[in-house]
Structure 1
Amino acid sequence: MERHTGRRTAIAAEVRAELARQRKTKKSLAEATGISPYTLTRRLAGEKPFLAEELQDIVVFLELPMQDFLDRVEAHA
């Protein structure tokens, strides 16, 4: 169970970090992906895991290849 929690936290941290690097807002991410602001806030806090479809939409929004994103997550998990 801890491994999943750590990965969930690492994914959330990487999404937050990339938003900051690109100076994009949570609001713009929510609008672009169709994730409700409430749900996005919980996912970014690591309270709930992102769904695979949501991650795909997020990397498209951030213009990142999925593998690059996952490599960053693994480097910090």
Structure 2
Amino acid sequence: MRLSDAATGSARIELQHYLQGPKAANLLRVILPDGHMLQGQLIDGCNEPGGGWLLINIGQFELTPEPSANANVWKWE
């Protein structure tokens, strides 16, 4: 998957393979490797077996940190 800035207020997600999910989805949430979360309303897209792309409408401040799933494991000493 590759994420790019499509225009003001939108992002394009390029897919390397078919994305499994609900057929009537209207919202996409992506958690990036650095722990930030990007979400937005689906505007357009193409989802095919060999890959595709999705265009989502995002707000200016919708790139927020997502709490780590291992947050309870780490202890500061």
What TM-score does the superposition give when structure 1 sets the normalisation length? 0.22
Greater relative contact order, per chain length (Cα 8 Å cut-off, separation 6+): 1
In terms of fraction of residues, the more strand-rich structure is 2
In terms of fraction of residues, the more helix-rich structure is 1
What TM-score does the superposition give when structure 2 sets the normalisation length? 0.22
